[in-house]
Chain A
Amino acid sequence: MIGYYKHAPFSLFLRILVSLAIAITVCTLGFLILYILVKGIPFLKPSLFSLTYTSENVSFLPSILNTVIIVFGSLLVAGPLGICAAIYTAEYARRGNKIVGLVRITTETLSGIPSIIYGLFGMLFFVTFLHLGYSLVSGILTISIMILPLVMRTTEEALRSVPDSYREGSYGLGAGKLRTVLSVILPSAVPGILAGVILAVGRVVGETAALVYTAGTVADFPKGIFSSGRTLSVHMYELSREGFHTGEAYATSVILILVILLINWISNKFAKKIGKT
C-alpha cells in the first residue's frame, strides 16, 4: 500500500482527505449518541414517569401519550391517503399522464417545505380558519400533510418493485384490475410500504416546529382529541429553552434517541426484506 503511494504523494493526500471526512461524519454521530446516552441515563428518575404533571417533576408521561396519539392519528390520515395516491400513480396512470406529472411536482414541493411553514399553515388553516383551536387534531392534520410525500414516495417505489409477472399471472387467472391490485400487488409490497410508514413515524416523533402552534404546548394529559398537548419533542424543546431542567432535558433526549434508533433499525429490517425478494 505504502509502495503504491511512494511516487504519488498527491494521491495519498486525497485518500487521507476522504478518509478524514468520513471519520468526522461517523464520529460526530457516534459522539452525539453516546454523549446523550451516557449523560442522560442517570437522569432517568421515577419522578419523570409521574402520573400527574407539575412544574416540579416535569413528568414526561403526558408528552409520551400525546406523541402516541399524534403518531397514530397522522398515520390514520396520511397512511390510507398516501397509499391510495401511490396506487394511482404506480398502477392506474398511463405513462406520460399529465396529472401524474403535476402530482409528482407537488409532492416534491411538499417534501421540500420546511416544518415551520407547515406549522404556520396549520395555525392559519386548521387552528384559525376551521376553528379547531390549538388541539391534537390540528397537530395531526398538519403533520399528516407533512408526511404524505414520504408515504407516497416509498409506497410507489414498493409497488413498482413488484415484478410484472405477478400482474400478468393475476390477469391470466381472470382477476380484474382492482382485485389484482388489492390481493396480489399490495400484499407483496407490504414490507416496502411498512419501511416507509415507519420512517414517517420517525419524522412525526422528532417534529417540533410544525406542532408548537398547532397542537400547542400544554404539558398535561389531553382531555380528548380536541384539547391541546405537547409531544415529547416539543416538551424537549421547552425544557432546553427554559434552561431550568437540564437534567430532565437529558433524560427526555435519551428516550427520543432510543425511539429513533429503534425506528431506524426496524425500518432497515423491512427494507432489507425487499432487497431479498
Chain B
Amino acid sequence: MKFKLSSPFKERAASTIFLVSALASILFVALICVFLFANGVPAILKIGFTDFLFGTEWAPTDEPAIYGIFPMILGSLYVTLGALAIGVSVGLLSAIFLARFCSERLHRVLKPAVELLAGIPSVIYGFFGLVIIVPFVRQHLGGSGFSIFTASILLGIMILPTVISVSEAALRAVPNSYYEGSLALGATHERSVFFTVLPAATSGIVAGIILGFGRAIGETMAVILVAGNQARMPDGIFEGVRTLTANIVLEMGYATDLHREALIATGVVLFSFILTINLLFSILKKRVVK
C-alpha cells in the first residue's frame, strides 16, 4: 500500500467547498427574506398598512376589492391558542411522565411512539380530523363541525411531540440534587417532581411552548381540511374560521395582480410572526444553556 499526502491544493479546494456549502444556509435565508418582502411589502403599502392589517373584511372579488386580513390574523391566533391549551397541558404532563415517572424499559417504547407522532404527515392528521373529529363535534357539540374548536384539538395533537420532547429535555437537564434535596426534606416523589424539578425547568418548558406556537401557527394543510375557512370575523368557538396559512393556499391558485400580491403579503405577515417567535425561542434557549 502506498500512502500519499494529498496535495496542498486539494486540501485548500476541499476546505473551500465545505465553507461554501456552510454558507448556503445563510444565502437561502437571505433569498427567502428578500423575495418574500420584495413581493409582499409593495402590496401592503398600496392597500395601506392599517387597512391591510386591521381591515375586518376580506373581499378580493368585490368591486372595488377589499383586502383586510384581520379576520385571518385573529383566526390564526384563536386556533393556535386553543391548540396550546390542549397541546401544552397534555404534552407537559406526558413529558413529566417520560422524564420522571417511567422505567427505562417503558421509556424505550414510549419515546419512539412520540417520535412517530412527529413523523405523521400533516395531511394525514387533516384527513383524520375530517373523518373523526369533525363528525364528532357536529353530532355532540352542534354547528357544522368545521370550527375553531375542531382545528384546536387537531393542532393540539400535532404539537404534542414538539412540546413533549423539548419539555422532557428541559426536565432532564435539572440537576438531580434538587430532587434529592426535596425528598430528603420529606416530600413525596410526586411533590418533589412537581414543586422543585418542574419550576427549575421553566425556561426550557417555555421554549418548548414557543416552538409549539410556531408549529401551530404555521400549519396549513391539516387546518384547511377542518377549520371551515370562512373569511369573516370569527364569532364563537364552534364557528368556522380561516387562518393566514389557509388564506394563502386557498386563493393562490386563481389570484392575479393585487389579489396575488395581497396573498404574498399575508405570507409576509405570517413570516414576521414566525421570525419573532424564533427570536424569542433562541433567546430563551441561550438562557437555558447558561
Residues of A within 8 A of B (CB): 4, 8, 10-12, 14-15, 17-22, 24-26, 28-29, 32, 35-36, 39, 80-82, 84-85, 87-89, 91-93, 99-100, 102-103, 105-110, 112-121, 123-125, 129, 145, 148-149, 152, 173-179, 199, 202, 205-209, 212-213, 233, 236-237, 240-241, 246, 249, 253, 256-257, 260-261, 263-264, 268
Q: Which 6 A-B pairs have the closest CB atoms?
A: A114-B218, A206-B121, A21-B93, A84-B21, A88-B18, A11-B190
Chain B 238-285 interface residues, beta-carbon cutoff 8 Å to A:
245, 248-249, 252-253, 264, 267, 270-271, 274-275, 277-278, 281-282
CB distance from A67 to the nearest CB of B (A): 11
Whether A19 pairs with B29 at a CB distance below 8 angstroms is no
Does B126 make an interface contact (CB < 8 A)?
yes
| A19 to B115 alpha-carbon distance, docked (Å) | 19
A120 with B221: in contact, given A105-B282, A236-B123 (CB under 8 Å)? no
A residues less than 8 Å from B194 (CB atoms): 14
Contacts A35-B132, A179-B6, A268-B112 supplied; 6 other A-B pairs, CB < 8 Å: A85-B24, A100-B22, A102-B26, A206-B123, A206-B124, A209-B220
Return chain A residues, CB-CB under 8 Å to B102.
22
Which B residues from 102 to 157 make CB contacts under 8 A with A?
102, 110, 112-117, 119-128, 130-132, 157
Pairwise interchain contact A206-B122, C-beta atoms closer than 8 A: yes
- Please tell me if the beta carbons of A249 and B127 are within 8 angstroms of each other in the complex: yes
Tell me, in angstroms, the Cα distance from A25 to B173 when the chains sit together.
Answer: 23
Instruction: Please report whether the interface of chain A is mostly helix, strand, loop or mixed according to DSSP.
Output: helix
Q: Which residues of B contact A (CB under 8 A)?
A: 3, 5-6, 10-11, 14-15, 17-19, 21-26, 28-29, 31-32, 35-36, 39, 89-94, 96-98, 101-102, 110, 112-117, 119-128, 130-132, 157, 160, 164, 188-191, 193-194, 211, 214-215, 217-221, 224-225, 245, 248-249, 252-253, 264, 267, 270-271, 274-275, 277-278, 281-282
A261 to B132, CA, bound (A): 21
What residues of chain A lie closer than 8 Å to B164, measured between beta carbons?
Answer: 25
- Evaluate contact between A110 and B218: CB separation under 8 angstroms: no
- B89 contact set on A, CB distance < 8 A: 21
Contact B274 A208 (CB under 8 A): no
Contact between A178 and B249, CB atoms less than 8 A apart: no
How many A-B contacts are there with CB distance less than 8 Å? 256
Residues in A with CB closer than 8 Å to B123 are 206, 208, 233, 236-237, 240, 256
**A148 and B130 contacting across the interface, CB-CB below 8 Å:** no
Q: Is the beta-carbon distance between B221 and A209 smaller than 8 angstroms?
A: yes
